[in-house]
Amino acid sequence: MNAALSTDGLTFQGKDREEVFQFYYHQHWIRMFWPILRFLLWNILIIGSCILMFTTVQFADSLTRHTILTLLMIFFLLAHFEFIVRFYHYLLYVIVVTDKRVHRIKKTLLTLDDHESTDLWVLQDIDKRQHGIIQNLLGFGSIILEAQDTQIRIHFTPNIAEKYVLFTRLREQARVNVSRLEESFRKGKTP
């Protein structure tokens, strides 16, 4: 089940051969707001220090100048690579919805490789939560999928109103498909 299977030109880890892809999404871009802001602030600080070193503050001692330049370079690269890693992690967290299941795929570069799948037809409740001004203004929030013994919380869902409708519609379709299957199975069994 965990092997990458190819159907309908779409391949992803954990997809069943009979599943039909519906939609996928990453978390809302607001998730990257703080990393972007921090990245920009570090850049302004470091580039500003370099400009100051070049124009106003002249260090006569070459050792001091070299040490400061090396430190600035270390912080500059740290800021950049920390941001890249966060951006990669952002892209590696995906929700994929097929006609049968919801797949939550969460990976990091080295340490994490999670894949959580839930059948749509077993979902009892689909809740949409948008708390606060920012969530309501930007149209994101949490979708909570509740089955009998499991609960999947998908935070930072973008266009949440649209996604909520899609989830609900797909669940109803999945239920209809399952009841049809059961009915045909019962008819096949009875003489």
Partner 1 sequence: MDVLFPILGWCALILCLEGILWVLFSRRFTQICLPSGDHTIFHIFTIWRLRVIILLHTVFLLASAIVSHLLLWP
Q: Measured from the CB atom, is 54 or 185 closer to partner 1?
A: 54
Rounded CA-CA distance 118/81 in Å is 35
State yes or no: residue 34 binds partner 1 (CB under 8 A). no
Classify residue 163 by burial, with Cβ atoms within 10 Å: 0-12, 13-18, 19+: buried
State yes or no: residue 66 binds partner 1 (CB under 8 A). yes
State yes or no: residue 23 binds partner 1 (CB under 8 A). yes
Q: Radius of gyration of the chain from Cα atoms?
A: 25
Least distance between partner 1 and beta carbon 65 (Å): 7
Candidates 112, 66, 110, 99; CA nearest to 175 is 99
State yes or no: residue 126 binds partner 1 (CB under 8 A). no
State yes or no: residue 28 binds partner 1 (CB under 8 A). yes
State yes or no: residue 165 binds partner 1 (CB under 8 A). no
Site for partner 1 in 73-112 (CB under 8 A): 73, 76-77, 80-81, 84-85, 88, 90-92, 94, 96, 105, 107, 109-110
Rounded CA-CA distance 163/169 in Å is 10
State yes or no: residue 161 binds partner 1 (CB under 8 A). no
State yes or no: residue 1 binds partner 1 (CB under 8 A). no
In which order are the strands placed within the sheet that holds 151-157?
Answer: 125-129, 141-146, 151-157
